[in-house]
Chains A and B, each alone.
Chain A
Amino acid sequence: DTEVTQTPKHLVMGMTNKKSLKCEQHMGHRAMYWYKQKAKKPPELMFVYSYEKLSINESVPSRFSPECPNSSLLNLHLHALQPEDSALYLCASSQGSLVLGSTDTQYFGPGTRLTVL
């Protein structure tokens, strides 16, 4: 099974709402990622979890709060978002090799299309 699932597929929220995006994989991967993609732009890395610990935060505003409850699940909690945060949010996972120089293919989910009103 090489599938990464994301829920919901679409989300519309107001600027005062609190919502969460969910991501799940059952490939035994130990690294999980959140990306943000604006229309007609490439994905941009937000967060990386390695072995359930936050390893990279690409200076993401605190209104985005990631959580990794276990090795298969990754959440992104959203609070007080701005309209400019509307985008496709992609989750990915990889084996998460800790060996420098190793190759590590990332498997992406279908994304959650978020609209902030």
Chain B
Amino acid sequence: SQQGEEDPQALSIQEGENATMNCSYKTSINNLQWYRQNSGRGLVHLILIRSNEREKHSGRLRVTLDTSKKSSSLLITASRAADTASYFCATVRMNTGFQKLVFGTGTRLLVSP
């Protein structure tokens, strides 16, 4: 079952602009992760934020988490054409000692040169 919903579903920007994607979820979580998927290929892990963290940075990525609103956002600064991909949030509920990822609906990002 899908827990997360992301918006927008699709986002089109120019190179150099910032891209913001939002994710909402329904249940209590252990942590929230963001993944990127290029053109129907495998997913690449971008960043993980724990439930007791509010903000995290990794290079051009900034993730925020608001557990009271059950929402997270991913900001990509100074976007590049190579950032064109689908981005998924994934929430983690502990199940029998390891993690069961539940993916959001995804945002398709198009960055034009």
Instruction: Decide if A48 touches B48 in the complex (CB within 8 Å).
Output: no
Q: Tell me whether A104 and B42 are in contact (CB under 8 A).
A: no
A55 at the interface (CB under 8 A from B): yes
Known interface pairs A42-B106, A43-B103, A103-B31; A90-B98 also in contact (CB < 8 Å): no
Given the contacts A105-B45, A107-B45, A108-B43, A45 and B97 also touching, CB distance less than 8 Å: no
Main secondary structure of the interface of A (DSSP, over half): loop
Interface of B is mostly: strand
**B50 interface residue (CB < 8 Å to A):** yes
The total of chain A residues at the interface (CB under 8 A) is: 33
B97 and A99 contacting across the interface, CB-CB below 8 Å: yes
Q: Are A110 and B97 in contact (CB under 8 A)?
A: no
Contact in complex: B98, A42 (CB < 8 Å) = no
Does B27 count as interface, using CB distance less than 8 angstroms? no
Contact B97 A43 (CB under 8 A): no
